[in-house]
């Protein structure tokens, strides 16, 4: 009788999922860091509408 060779487990979809999660996490972190940059500008616009480019 011939033995069947062991099949290795395919990790392709696990790798794809890990890459998607890593990219999503990186985008989320960048988005959160960008928010704080505009807080002082938003406060200045609230105090005096002349600071706004949208009149």
Model confidence pLDDT, tens digit, residues 5-49? 787 789 999 999 999 999 999 999 988 887 777 777 778 778 877
Residue found by looking up tokens 């890990």 in the block: 18
Of 50, 52, 19, which Cα lies nearest the Cα of 38?
Answer: 52
The pTM is what? 0.54
Looking at residue 52, its pLDDT comes to: 64
User: What pLDDT was estimated at residue 21?
Assistant: 98
Could you give the CA distance from residue 19 to residue 9 in angstroms, rounded to a whole number?
Answer: 19
């Amino acid at each position: 009788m011939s033995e069947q060779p062991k099949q290795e487990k395919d990790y392709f979809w696990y790798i794809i999922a890990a890459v998607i999660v890593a990219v999503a996490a990186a985008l989320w972190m960048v988005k959160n860091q960008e928010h704080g940059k505009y807080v002082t500008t938003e406060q200045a616009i609230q105090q005096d509408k002349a600071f706004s480019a949208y009149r």
